[in-house]
Amino acid sequence: MQYTIKNARLLDGSVVDVVINDGTISEIGSSLKVGEIIDGKKNLLIPGLVDLHTHLREPGREDSETVATGSMAAAKGGFTAISAMANTFPVADTAGVVEQVFRLGQEAGYCDVFPIGAVTQGLKGEALAELGAMANSKARVRIFSDDGKCVSDPLLMRRALEYVKTFNGIIAQHAQDPALTVGSQMNEGVVSSKLGLNGWPAVAEEAIIARDILLAEHVGSRLHICHLTTAGGVDLLRFAKSRGINVTAEVTPHHLLLTDELVSNYDPVFKVNPPLRTEKDVMALRAGLADGTIDIVGTDHAPHPTEDKDCEWQSAAFGMVGLETALSVVVKSMIETKLMSWSDLVDRMSIAPARIAGYTNHGRDIVVGSPANLTIIDTSSNWIVDRNRLASKSKNTPFQAMSLPASVLHTFFNGNLVLKNSELVMGGSN
C-alpha cells in the first residue's frame, strides 16, 4: 500500500507531506500526492508508541482479552508495538507459548506483539524458565519478567540477571517484597488506616529496588524496574543511575495521575497492583519521568472481566486497562502541567522503550527510510472516556467519564493504515 500524509506537523513545528511506500517512509517534502491521501490537517506526526508492559490474557483468559483485541486497543491508543506479559494460562515460560503469542500478534496485524518470557517456571519463583530457548525462538524474546509476582529470592534474581547476559536480555522486575505485602489491598498510609484495608507499604517496593540495583551492579547486567510507584523508588533509581548502574524504569499513566484517595469509596476499578499512592509519590514520579530518572511510560494494561470488579474490594482483581488512555493521561499529567514537552513524551513513550527492548523498527526518527510505524495525534482536542467504546474486551478503566486531552487520529503499522479517523480499519494490516 502507498499513502501520502498531507500536512503533517513534525515535532520541530515544520509541516510536511510524508509518503509511505511498502512499509517505509519513502519521501518527505511538499506537494506530494501518491497513493491514498490522508489529510494530516497539521496534526502531530510521531513515531508509533511502544509499550513494554501489556497484559493480553491469551492463552487462557480470552474472556478478558485476546491478542487480537489487545492489539486493536493498542492501535486505538497510538501504539505500534506492545509487549505481552508472561502471566497467561499456561504461563509464557516456554518457546512454544511465546511463539504462539507472537504468531497471534502477527495474525491480528494491528501492531507488533513482542512476548515477554517468564523468569521462573510457572512464575513460581523457584527455578529458572528456559530463557535461552525463548530468546532463540521465533519470538526472539529479550525481556523476561514474572510480572504480577516478584522474583523475590535474591539468589534466583542474581542468576537470572547473569544468565540473560549471553543474549543481551533484560530482567524486568515487579518490585514487591511478598512478605511485607501479605494480603495487601492498597497503599499503606492515612487512607488505608481509615478504610481498614490491609496496607502495601512503599518500603516493600523500595527494598526490592535497592537490592536489585545492587545485584545488577554486582553482576554487570541489565535490570528494568516495572511500574515504579514510590517517591523513595525514584530516589533509589537516581542513585543507581549516578553510579552508572545499567538500570531502567517505567511508570504507568495511572500512577502519574491518580492517588489512593480514590479508594475511599471502595470501588474496585481503582484496585491495582502496585497500588495507587499518595500525592507526594505522584509528584515525585512526574519529576522523575521529566528528568529522565524514569526512562519510560509502560501501561500495565490489565484487562479483567466485569464480574472480577463488580464485587466487594477484597474479592476484586487487581488491574486497570490503559492502552487507549495512556497517551492522553500522560499529556494531562506531564504536558499540561508543563513538566515535559511533546519531544520528551515521544522519547518516554516511543524512542526510549524501543531502545531498551531492541525493537529496531519502532521509535525511529521520521526520516526517509524509517519503517512506517507512525501515529498522528490531534493535540488540541479533548475527549470523554467512555468504557463502552473501548476496543479492549474489558472495560475496567479508572478514567471513565473523565475529559482527557489529545486524541489519536491515525495509526500506521508496518506501512499500513490500521486506525483511520480514530476508527479501527477492519482486518488490520492483513
Q: Which residues are catalytic?
A: 300
Residues in 387-406 that interact with other proteins by CB under 8 A: none
**Which of the ranges 147-155, 211-219, 308-316, 328-336 carries the binding residues for other proteins, by CB under 8 A?**
308-316
Axis-axis angle for helices 231-242, 202-219 (nearest 10): 10
Distance in Å, CB of 195 to other proteins, minimum:
6
**Which of the ranges 19-27, 313-321, 337-345, 385-393 carries the binding residues for other proteins, by CB under 8 A?**
313-321
Q: Where are the beta strands (DSSP E) in 85-198?
A: 112-115, 143-144, 170-173, 186-187
- Mark 324-343 as b/e (b = at least 16 C-beta within 10 Å): bbbbbbbbbbbbeeebbebe
Fill in the per-residue mask, 258 to 277: x = in contact with other proteins (CB under 8 A), - = not in contact. Answer: -------xxx----------
CB 84 within 8 A of CB 105: yes
Q: Does 312 bind other proteins (CB under 8 A)?
A: yes
Q: Does 244 bind other proteins (CB under 8 A)?
A: no
As to burial, measured by CB atoms within 10 angstroms (0-12 exposed, 13-18 middle, 19+ buried), residue 121 is middle
Residues in 179-218 that interact with other proteins by CB under 8 A: 185, 188-199, 201
CA 282: distance to chain centroid? Answer: 18
As given in the structure block, the three cell numbers for residue 273 are 497492583
**Which of the ranges 7-15, 151-159, 310-318, 334-342 carries the binding residues for other proteins, by CB under 8 A?**
310-318
Distance CA 78, CA 356 (A): 19
Q: Does 315 bind other proteins (CB under 8 A)?
A: yes
Longest dimension (CA), the chain: 64
Distance in Å, CB of 69 to other proteins, minimum:
25
Distance CA 203, CA 104 (A): 39
Distance in Å, CB of 85 to other proteins, minimum:
27
Report which DSSP code applies to 351. I
CB nearer to other proteins: pick between 106 and 198? 198
CB nearer to other proteins: pick between 262 and 424? 262
> How many residues are listed for the chain in this entry?
430
CB nearer to other proteins: pick between 318 and 342? 318
- The kind and range of the H/E element at 246 are none
Q: Count of residues binding other proteins (CB under 8 A)?
A: 24
Residue 83: φ, ψ to 5°: -125, 115
Distance in Å, CB of 271 to other proteins, minimum:
11
Contacts of 127 (CB under 8 A, 6+ apart): 120, 121, 156
CB nearer to other proteins: pick between 192 and 273? 192
CB nearer to other proteins: pick between 126 and 261? 261
Fill in the per-residue mask, 319 to 358: x = in contact with other proteins (CB under 8 A), - = not in contact. Answer: ----------------------------------------
CB nearer to other proteins: pick between 37 and 311? 311
Residues that bind other proteins in the complex, under the rule CB under 8 A? 185, 188-199, 201, 265-267, 307, 310-315
